[in-house]
Structure 1
Amino acid sequence: MTDTSRIDELEIRMAHQEQTIEDLNGAITAQWKIIDRLERQVSRLIDRLAEAEGAMGEAPPAHQPPPHY
């Protein structure tokens, strides 16, 4: 194997690795966008649940008998 063919082979490998890195970076960026969106949705759902629980008032526990007993 000559020095020129070794250099060509290394350049080809490097080009493939650069493309792989770009592809992985794109995938990670897309995943972070999804994660951010899901975190915002979960936060909104937690807020809505807290509001719903507050609107219901304090419900008596299911295991206590009613007050007329």
Structure 2
Amino acid sequence: MTEDRITQLEILAAEQEKTIEELSTELTRQWREMEALKKKLQRLSERFMELEEQTAGDVPVTKPPHW
């Protein structure tokens, strides 16, 4: 009876260790993906600002017609 209980606890510990390793691997993959996405977003934001500056031009400030 005690030997069966110890065996079951060892099986449970091994399964938990496997699950923790899988979760750690997935977390690492997602972290790398998030870092890559943050860099891409930063580049796109910078590019957007450059394009916005190029197309804005010098718009004169005028009073609205009702003034």
Q: TM-score, normalised by structure 2?
A: 0.82
| Runs of 4 or more consecutive aligned structure 1 residues displaced over 6 Å after TM superposition | none
* CA apart distance, 1:56: 1.2
Take 1:52 and 1:59, find their aligned partners in 2: how far apart are those partners? Answer: 14
Between the two proteins, the alignment pairs up a number of residues equal to: 59
Measured after TM superposition, the shift of residue 59 of structure 1 is: 7.4
Residue 26 of structure 1 deviates from its aligned partner by: 0.2
Stretches of structure 1 that go unaligned for 5 or more consecutive residues are: 61-69
**In structure 2, C-alpha distance between the alignment counterparts of 1:43 and 1:32, rounded to whole Å:** 17
Could you say which residue in structure 2 is the equivalent of 1:13? 12
- How far does residue 32 in structure 1 lie from its aligned partner after superposition? 0.6
Structure 2 runs not aligned, ≥5 long: 60-67
2:17 maps to amino acid: E
Distance 1:57 1:18 in 2: 58
Question: What TM-score do you get using the length of structure 1 for normalisation?
Answer: 0.79
Please report the RMSD computed on the Cα atoms of aligned residues, expressed in angstroms: 1.3
